[in-house]
Amino acid sequence: MQRIAIINQKGGVAKTTTAANLGAAFARGGSRVLLIDLDSQANLSLHVSGEAGLADDASTFELLVDGVPIRDAARALPDEGLTLVQASGDLAGIEQALANTIGRELLLRDALEKVESDYDIVLIDCPPSLGVLSLNALAAAQHVLIPLQTEFFALQGMAQLLDVVGVVQKRLNPSLAILGILPSMIDARTRLSGEVVDELAAHFADLLLETRIRKNVKLAEAPSFGQSILRYAPESNGAADYMTLARELSARLGLAIRFATDAEPSGAARPGAPQDDGAPVARPAPVDSREVDGGSAAESAS
């Protein structure tokens, strides 16, 4: 089981968008994917639940506080090929609920160990903070994926986040490693996106992923329909980018996942492959102006 925590203490960087769509992309390759929503806003749960919305099932709050097993809390989402442990608003009070619990940072790790053989990939959507929920995710995960919006303040919190990862490595989870930094919400119409990516490459060359998630209005619309981008708009730039990300991360993780060509949206670029204009994918890819929404609040939500 590959356990990946998707984390950034800054909000609006596409953590939830990445968890939902990367999970759907892995599922297209035949992987058994479990999504764990640790954000009290439950955006990931709503994103992939479709018309059914949130269920009466136990949430990650009951999993952590009451010890409800993952097998009892998880529900299948057959339309996406995913399994979900949903979040609830109760998570907003998790710090108080676990205040007197010994080893509270290890609760999710212990729960996942009991379903080790049930899933191939676990994606953990972390809240925009570095409290007990994020520590549970980092203690349970083997890998850290950091979505980073390409804007001026994007780098400000990186040092703090990397420090936290380092502390967790030393004290809670020696096997934890950073899988990659993912530039998200790329707007190729602006010079700033390219400058931020260049800055990332200069400081985090080995950690910077080649895949770029372009700003795309379809990605902003998909959650309101309760669908991944691969179901809602399979021919969009967003679908292409997340299929590309799944391939790159599969390679980094050494997973033998075969993505069927008919499951790949047309136009999806493999990492390092040239774009139509000859530019490598390591640079922001050309953006279809019809799919860009520079001010979409929905797309900024994570």
The larger pLDDT score, comparing residue 283 to residue 89, is at 89
| Mean pLDDT within 101-120 | 96
Residue 138: pLDDT over 90: yes
Would you say 158 and 196 are in contact if contact means Cβ atoms under 8 Å apart? no
Burial class (CB in 10 A: 0-12, 13-18, 19+), 159: exposed
pLDDT tens for each residue of 209-222:
999 999 889 999 99
Confidence of residue 267 (pLDDT cuts 50, 70, 90): very low
Residues 6+ apart with CB under 8 A from 96: none
Residue 167: pLDDT over 80: yes
Confidence of residue 263 (pLDDT cuts 50, 70, 90): very low
Tell me the domain boundaries of the chain. Answer: 2-300
CATH superfamily of 2-300: P-loop containing nucleotide triphosphate hydrolases (3.40.50.300)
How many CB atoms are located within 10 Å of the residue 218 CB?
18
Residue 157: pLDDT over 90: no
Share of the chain above pLDDT 70, in %: 85
Angle at 283 between CA 185 and CA 257, to 5 degrees: 80
Specify the pairing of strand 2-6 against strand 82-85.
unpaired
User: Residue 299: what pLDDT?
Assistant: 40
Specify the pairing of strand 177-184 against strand 143-149.
parallel
State the pTM of this model: 0.84
Of 89, 138, 83, 85, the residue nearest 109 (C-alpha): 138
User: Residue 80: what pLDDT?
Assistant: 92
Residue 287: pLDDT over 60: no
pLDDT tens for each residue of 49-72:
876 667 788 999 999 999 999 999
CA dihedral 243, 205, 152, 42 (to 10 degrees): 40
Distance from C-alpha of 43 to C-alpha of 92, rounded to nearest angstrom: 14
Would you say 6 and 123 are in contact if contact means Cβ atoms under 8 Å apart? yes
Burial class (CB in 10 A: 0-12, 13-18, 19+), 151: middle
pLDDT tens for each residue of 194-209:
888 888 888 888 899 9
